[in-house]
Amino acid sequence: MAKKKEEQVNLIDTFKDFKETKNIDKTTLVSVLEDSFRSVLQRTFGSDENFDVIVNPDKGDFEIYRNRTVVNDGEVNNENAEIALSEAQKIDEEYELGEEVSEKVNFADFGRRAILTLRQTMASKILDLEHDNLYNKYVDKVGTIISAEVYQVWKRETLLLDDEGNELLLPKSEQIPGDFFRKGEAARAIVLRVDNLNNNPKIILSRTAPEFLQRLLENEVPEINDGLITIRRIARIPGERAKIAVESYNERIDPVGACVGVKGSRIHGIVRELHNENIDVINYTSNMKLFIQRALSPARVSSIVLDDENKKAEVYLQPDQVSLAIGKNGHNIKLASMLTEYTIDVFRELDGNEPAEEDIYLDEFKDEIEPWVIDAIKGIGLETAKSVLDAPREMLVEKADLEENTVDDVLNILRAEFEE
């Protein structure tokens, strides 16, 4: 008897523990606990329909009553739902046939296995509920910036904890080159997505997503939150460089100046957060030629030929502007293409007396140049023979990650084509 009483007390302590440590509202807690009891009752008796379960989360206790119909002695076919008249009258002499006997049940009498099953069922339901709460909390935060504490740093990802101790993951692929985290420090990132495989939510953060830069700007520039300035497009090479196209609906507001701030006051904090990522802010326009021209800044464009159907642009510049248009490691032209969503090819503008030559796409040289070499060069934004010839040799070696001999062979093949 003492053993059963001890188990009953332990069970009540279990409820108190759930009440005190789980961030669950009272109504939901009662429902979960009642469902857990009924699940065990159904397993034990085959049905829970004739049981009343009363849970009091405030006190951390519970009561269970079993309701059985009084039948003649010897006519009990279902001991769970029926009770013999003689047994009923031992409880109360006034019971008669057909009446319902409501009898309080000591759950500990069901045995240790039932109690263990109850605890496991309860833990499972509570865990599912916590997962649902976590998923619902963060699925609504996708696209917003949060600050969390760095808890563990691994090779492929960093684990952070929010104010409630929920685990958040920042994969290495979503970290800015140069990110270095120490345990216990705060880190800012955007909620990229919430994976929910088998109702086990994983919160994935990002510091490389364009939206992270956008939210940082929104926090620093009141005119954006007020709706006076709109961020139309963002292109990023995380940790290196970014281009942002902004538009103002108020003629008195300079959107570029507002985003940069006096002497760069508004942009400096963002640049520091992004490890000195160089941020260019330009005015957005629906005039695609002008937009491409602005996107290629600081290079000065002479003329542009658009192929709107194929989203391609041929940009002609003076020879001294070509390297500026391409930029260090090809970043400027790559970001301009990302921002405008056009494939941009740059060409040196010919003198008026110099005969014009047609350019040739690199894919035409697949018989002479290995396809993987062509793909490597195209990967840095160079699509045509002349754009490769105009690019600095060092850029082809470093950015395309090619051997010097390979680059020289490519240049010789391309030059030979135009010399012919």
CB 280 within 8 A of CB 244: yes
Determine the Cα–Cα distance for residues 337 and 260; give it in Å rounded to an integer.
23
CB 363 within 8 A of CB 374: yes
φ, ψ of residue 151 to 5 degrees: the values are: -110, -40
CA-derived radius of gyration, the chain: 36
Q: Which domains does the chain have, with CATH numbers?
A: 2-136 (3.30.1480.10), 141-206 (2.40.50.140), 209-284 (3.30.300.20)
pLDDT value of residue 120? 81
Q: Give all strands of the β-sheet with 229-237 in edge-to-edge order.
A: 229-237, 241-248, 278-283
pLDDT value of residue 284? 93
pTM higher than 0.75: no
SS3 73: coil
CB 53 within 8 A of CB 37: yes
CB 181 within 8 A of CB 153: yes
Determine the Cα–Cα distance for residues 237 and 245; give it in Å rounded to an integer.
15
Where do we find the tokens 């542009």? Answer: 304
SS3 270: helix
Determine the Cα–Cα distance for residues 325 and 300; give it in Å rounded to an integer.
8
Q: What kind and span of H or E run contains 268?
A: helix 265-273
CB 207 within 8 A of CB 245: no
pLDDT value of residue 356? 46
- What are the tokens at 349? 């503008």
Where do we find the tokens 């500990």? Answer: 108
Determine the Cα–Cα distance for residues 136 and 129; give it in Å rounded to an integer.
11
Read out DSSP for 323-348?
A: HHHH-GGGHHHHHHHHHHTSEEEEEE
**What are the pLDDT tens digits along the chain (420 aa)?**
444 444 444 555 555 555 555 566 677 777 877 888 888 888 888 888 888 888 776 666 788 888 988 888 888 888 888 888 888 888 888 888 888 888 888 877 777 787 787 778 877 877 888 888 889 899 999 999 999 999 999 999 999 999 988 999 999 999 998 899 999 999 999 999 999 888 889 999 999 999 999 999 999 999 998 889 999 999 999 999 999 999 998 888 889 999 998 888 889 989 999 999 999 999 999 999 999 999 998 888 888 999 989 999 999 888 888 888 888 888 999 999 999 999 998 888 765 444 445 678 888 888 888 888 888 888 887 878 888 888 878 878 877 888 889 989 999 888 887 765
Q: What kind and span of H or E run contains 182?
A: none
CB 206 within 8 A of CB 189: yes
Long-range contacts: 157-161, Cβ < 8 Å, 24+?
Answer: 158/187, 160/187, 160/189, 160/205
